[in-house]
Amino acid sequence: MKEIDLRSDTVTRPTKEMLQAIMTAPVGDDVYKEDPTVNKLEQKLADMFGMDEALFFPTGSMANQAGIKLHTQPGEQLICDKWAHVYNYEGGGVSFNSGVSCKLVDGDRGMITAKQVEESINPPDFYHSPLTSLVCLENTTNKGGGACYDLEEVKKIRKVCDRHGLGLHLDGARLFNAIVKNDEDPKTYGKIFDTISVCLSKGLGTPMGSVLLGKRDLMKNAIRVRKVLGGGMRQVGFMAAAGIYALDNHLGQLKKDNERASEIARQLDDLSYIGKVEPVETNIIIFYLKDPEDESKFIDELSKENIRISNMGQGKLRIVTHLDYSEEMHLHFQKVLRGIAL
């Protein structure tokens, strides 16, 4: 059996058809905005979300960081969940790039409520505390195990932001997993949020790339911020072509990824050596062994079978399903799980 890599949905390789789309893409210099394929991808996503503007970025972190910069001034504060990717996994970029601090909210599986947002806003005329200017949400949540926001709650958060003059950014690295799972219209997100980042290199399976979507008045500075961050790229239409191909061909696959994750979670639930399995909504499974001491033995047993998963520390193990995880691998993995004795 080939290696089964379940550490992340970022480990996928481009398919033959995607490579073909890459190889045949018309390209130009995107720093001059002359790459027809990048322009086409940006237009496609802007239309899909009903957003004014879209801009291609090399990574999701850079798209988020640019989004945060567009909304804030140094010294200000944003509100996010304590598990937020923008706070935990972007190298401290919020303070490095924007000079902004984070008010962390103790949410549920990475999700926060309108009430919590309201309570976290510093009074704007109390000049001792940082001025709150932005709320960042994540959908699906990464550290929260692929949980999806209830759009009704998000709409309430929007209302709080409107009342207090705050921007609302969505880190949508895995937004398509939520959209497919809950049968949502991307335009609903476009209506609610001021800026949205989406990743093409996770569930959609491209080698690289994220897109920042937003309203015109905010996005007019986005290309300058991208330049400052070092994200202006030249004939990057080759990568945008992979994104267009993925949007046309891989969205449906996300449903399979989500289903297989549920099946794995159900099986884990039945195994005697597994402790708690967090609720699974999309393609991420977070679980614990009954005895945390067994962790390295468990990981060893899996690696003997050429299977890799993530150890997130503090007893947390993570599995992520993706495009390169086939039905054959799925059956084999479940058989291996059943055969392990700890």
Residue identified by tokens 């009430």 is 115
Give yes or no for residue 283 binding ligand PLP (CB under 6 A): no
Among 4, 22, 60, 284, binds ligand PLP (CB under 6 A): 60
Buried b (16+ CB within 10 A) or exposed e, 52-72: ebbbbbbbbbbbbbbbbbbbb
Give yes or no for residue 59 binding ligand PLP (CB under 6 A): yes
CB 212 within 8 A of CB 52: no
CB 173 within 8 A of CB 202: yes
Give yes or no for residue 147 binding ligand PLP (CB under 6 A): no
Question: Which of 18-26, 55-63, 162-170, 212-220 is the region at the interface with ligand PLP (rule: CB under 6 A)?
Answer: 55-63
Give yes or no for residue 194 binding ligand PLP (CB under 6 A): no
Tell me the angle at which helices 16-23 and 237-249 cross, rounded to the nearest 10 degrees. 140
Buried b (16+ CB within 10 A) or exposed e, 227-262: eebebbbebbbbbbbbbbbbbeebeebbebbbebbb
Give yes or no for residue 65 binding ligand PLP (CB under 6 A): no
CB of 209 vs ligand PLP, minimal distance in Å: 9
Which residues, in sequence order, are bridge partners of residue 319? 285
The residues, ordered by sequence, that sit 6+ positions from 285 with a Cβ below 8 Å of its Cβ are 145, 146, 261, 264, 265, 268, 277, 278, 318, 319, 320, 321
CA nearest to 325, candidates 1, 4, 2: 4
Distance CA 203, CA 11 (A): 10
Instruction: List the beta strands (DSSP E) in 161-278.
Output: 167-172, 195-199, 210-214, 274-277
Give yes or no for residue 142 binding ligand PLP (CB under 6 A): yes
Which of residues 77 and 197 has its CB atom nearest to ligand PLP in the complex?
Answer: 197
Give yes or no for residue 318 binding ligand PLP (CB under 6 A): no
Which of residues 274 and 284 has its CB atom nearest to ligand PLP in the complex?
Answer: 284
Question: Which of 56-64, 175-183, 187-195, 332-340 is the region at the interface with ligand PLP (rule: CB under 6 A)?
Answer: 56-64
CB of 70 vs ligand PLP, minimal distance in Å: 16
Among 171, 257, 278, 281, binds ligand PLP (CB under 6 A): 171
Q: Which of residues 86-125 bind ligand PLP (CB under 6 A)?
A: none
CB of 202 vs ligand PLP, minimal distance in Å: 6
Which of residues 64 and 133 has its CB atom nearest to ligand PLP in the complex?
Answer: 64
Give yes or no for residue 281 binding ligand PLP (CB under 6 A): no
CB 54 within 8 A of CB 45: yes
Q: Which of residues 208-267 bind ligand PLP (CB under 6 A)?
A: 210
Backbone angles phi, psi at 178, to 5 degrees: -70, -45
Question: Which of 33-41, 60-68, 224-232, 279-287 is the region at the interface with ligand PLP (rule: CB under 6 A)?
Answer: 60-68
Among 199, 218, 274, 317, binds ligand PLP (CB under 6 A): 199
Give yes or no for residue 173 binding ligand PLP (CB under 6 A): yes
CB of 138 vs ligand PLP, minimal distance in Å: 5
Which residues, in sequence order, are bridge partners of residue 57? 210
CA nearest to 319, candidates 246, 256, 260, 252: 260
Site residues (vs ligand PLP, CB under 6 A): 59-61, 64, 85, 138, 142, 171, 173, 199, 210
